[in-house]
A and B are shown apart, each in its own frame.
Chain A
Amino acid sequence: MKPLRRAAMALLAAIYLAALAAAWLAPAGYARQFRESPDAKPSAVFLLGTDELGRDSFARLLYGSRVSLSLAPAAAALATLVGAVAGVSAGYWGGWIDTCLARLMDLFLSVPWLFLLLSVRAVLPLNVRPLESIGITFLLLGLLGWAGPARVLRAAAHEVKSEDFMVQARARGSSPVRVLSLHLLPNLAPVLAAQFWMSIPLFILSEANLGFLGLGVAEPVPSWGNLLAGLQNLDAVAGCPWRLAPLVLLLVVMACFHFIVPMEDFSK
């Protein structure tokens, strides 16, 4: 294993561990408002200062990391799995299955999600506790984000299906399950992995946008999404560089992901 990859894994593990140990590292908690210390600068008490309501920014970053680092990959895995089933089925079997699934993918990609999500919000109960809102948010992201990966995997499956080894496998009389599991899927693994890693930052940012529709992670629970949303006012950030910590952490984590699973692996 390359040293850079090892370092990235170690750093990512450290970030995960810090997020899991948030209760010990930041005992003040993410919700408590120290109203006499709003917008405080970093200090021994508040390592990253406080937000406008006096909440410990370090605690919010750790707890937010816990939410986003756990659930964004889960949502990405769900979207990739659903996308893989649909895309590989369409690409491998072709014919009317391909036609139907391709139309469904097009439909999903062309639907104005803003309006659909508003309808989803309308049917959901209002009294959703903050922790439940996290589950709903990432489940929605996972279920709605499958069409993109499905399209890519359909094209990849189409291509692999016409390779010589696939033709030989079918000519030998291998069952479709055997062809799929032994020949097709292993060759699609890099594409699947690429789709998975690419979905993670997308879902982290999408979660922030969902908050605008009342579907995101609810207050007072922090997530990278709502922490990043707080950076919209660039002037407020200009004199307080420590407020960029969520953005820096997001970039570090994404870089780690890329070092752990290098892009050249996807093109094999």
Chain B
Amino acid sequence: MNVRWAGFALAWLVVQSPLRSARIPEPVPGGELRFCLHAEPKTFNTLMVSEEPDEVVRFLTGGVLIRMNRETQALEPELAESWRILDGGRKIEFKLREGVRFSDGSALTAADVLFSLRSVLDPALHSPAGEPFRTGQGKPLVSQPGSRRILVSLAAPMPGVERLFDEVPITSARAVEKSAHPADMPGLGPFHVVEYRPGSSLLLARNPFYWKRDEAGRSLPYLDSVRLSIQQNRDLELARFLHGEIHLINGLDAESFERVAAKSPGEARDTGRSLESEELWFNQVARAPIPEYRKQWFRSREFRRAVAQAINRADLARLVYRGHAAPAIGPVSPANLAWFNANLRVPTFDPDAALARLKAAGFSLAGSALHDREGHGVEFSVITNSGNKSRERLATMIQQDLARIGIRLNVVTLDFGSLIERITRTFDYESCLLGMVNVDLDPSAEMNVWLSSASSHAWNPAQTSPETSWEADIDRLMRAQAVETSFKRRKALFDRVQEIVVEEAPVVVLVDKNALSAVSRSLGDVTPAVLHPQTFWNIDRIYLRGGAGR
């Protein structure tokens, strides 16, 4: 932009600013936000949260030292005014915010934070929030070096450890002395539980002592209350939204999204690529009860790459997800802003090149059927979970794509339990089509997937030593990034892991699904993000247009 254009743009902005501010309605305090929980909360003890409904309640009622901004994916100070990493990543020191009070009016003290962190990190308590800290290299120690300072000392450096505190709840040291009734639990979040009707609903009221204020100095949150209806049936949830009974739905599928869009276009929100992908992998387990010649195919890099090349990912995204998905680029979605390898490109769909690759690897096409060197017809099955229409359609489309290069694919749908049994214990399968979700953005959280010794190393889990040189490379790179403190060097190491996965194609990542949600137009300042909790991550800023009017 030259200077003249820059000047014009500045003038335009100056002229527009009063108009824009006049158009944007001021947040109006009051009103009740309503949405659904998809199951009964199992616990109100924030230290023991493990399932989604519990997490939702914790997010709305609990406080944390550091919060990840779901929109920018940057860490922001919350109950900790600041923090710093010391001793090469072995220690993290928090400076606590002053003047913070629990929902019962009592002040947050360093003793509360000490109690919370020690409880979470106590192996005897088995707090799910403490699991990422249990590296097997020793128990982290928590101390109080100053009146408002808390120091966590780790047994070994943990790069990116600060992100884990987004999930570590801070609770009152006196909470255990009180009744287990949720209404008695003092919290530090924007809301606190006032009524729980098992099987029906949960009512959260505004925390009158919540510490945050908006730019104008007004107390947050704007909403008076949040009512969570316990509703397992997603169709009923959608019907309730369409009838205006609830204001939000997270994680819509493409069909439901289209229904919302058809009825009320402004209320269907497509946030773009999410961290959820659909993947296909081949069974490479040596002891798998499948014919040896098929194992040879699946262990052949050229075979796997040819299959990857023969699948039309763009068609999968367009037809199965009605355009609310995108062809996957690699094992990490571009939605992971910090760790996605931007040098990777969407694999090209080229059945002719795939066939040429197979021929170079010793396969031959006789009529319309592909045969290997020993004359075996290339035919294998893909298993996926029954009842998931999208996956069944993906499999059917892949079936036709592979038929073009002479591969016969048999689609088998299994109930989820049988499928998990086959892919984790008996290994009695040939290929599998399943979805993957990255809930943690940091690569260290994916050690259980990429290390060859890991139990979730889908295509060949729990290897005693890496069976291929490229898996040995991945092991080395993943271990190196896990102890590297420089983000730049960690990124370079993890970028290489992503490149190896694309080059070797042990997992053919098909599509990245979009994050779809429904948001009532009566709500203000809702900015859906790809990270949980998608639509209400900034709950303290959300308001109802007209306050209690709706």
Interface footprint category on B: 20 to 34
Prevailing SS type, chain A contact patch: loop
Within 8 A of A (CB), among B401-418: 408, 410-415, 417-418
Inter-chain contact A127/B397, CB cutoff 8 Å: no
Q: Contacting chain A: which of B11-19, B376-384, B478-486, B530-538?
A: B376-384
Chain B, 408-438, contact with A by CB distance < 8 Å: what is the 0/1 string? 1011111101100000000011100000000
- Given A219-B399, A233-B255, are A118 and B410 also a contact pair (CB < 8 Å)? no
Chain B min CB distance to A129 (Å): 6
Inter-chain contact A219/B319, CB cutoff 8 Å: no
* Assembled-state Cα–Cα distance A149/B411 (Å): 34
Contacts of A211 on B, CB cut-off 8 Å?
Answer: 386, 413
Contacts of B397 on A, CB cut-off 8 Å?
Answer: 33, 53
Inter-chain contact A130/B410, CB cutoff 8 Å: yes
Inter-chain contact B430/A219, CB cutoff 8 Å: no
Within 8 A of B (CB), among A113-171: 118, 121-122, 126-130
Inter-chain contact B381/A118, CB cutoff 8 Å: no
* Assembled-state Cα–Cα distance A220/B387 (Å): 16
Q: Does B392 contact A (CB under 8 A)?
A: yes
* Assembled-state Cα–Cα distance A233/B253 (Å): 13
Inter-chain contact B395/A127, CB cutoff 8 Å: no
Inter-chain contact A127/B379, CB cutoff 8 Å: yes
Inter-chain contact A219/B380, CB cutoff 8 Å: no
* Assembled-state Cα–Cα distance A235/B383 (Å): 29
Inter-chain contact A126/B418, CB cutoff 8 Å: no
Within 8 A of A (CB), among B478-503: none
Inter-chain contact B392/A219, CB cutoff 8 Å: yes
Specify which of B259, B320, B408, B414 is in contact with A214 (CB 8 Å cutoff).
Answer: B414
- Given A31-B400, A211-B386, A236-B255, are A218 and B411 also a contact pair (CB < 8 Å)? yes
Chain B min CB distance to A25 (Å): 22
Contacts of B412 on A, CB cut-off 8 Å?
Answer: 126, 128, 214, 218
Contacts of A235 on B, CB cut-off 8 Å?
Answer: 259
Q: Does B368 contact A (CB under 8 A)?
A: no
Q: Does A190 contact B (CB under 8 A)?
A: no
Specify which of B320, B383, B399, B418 is in contact with A220 (CB 8 Å cutoff).
Answer: B399
Q: Does A103 contact B (CB under 8 A)?
A: no
* Assembled-state Cα–Cα distance A33/B399 (Å): 11
Q: Using CB atoms, name the residue of chain A closest to B314.
A: A35
Q: Does A94 contact B (CB under 8 A)?
A: no
Contacts of A54 on B, CB cut-off 8 Å?
Answer: 319
Q: Using CB atoms, name the residue of chain B closest to A132.
A: B410
Inter-chain contact A214/B413, CB cutoff 8 Å: yes
Contacts of A33 on B, CB cut-off 8 Å?
Answer: 396-397, 400
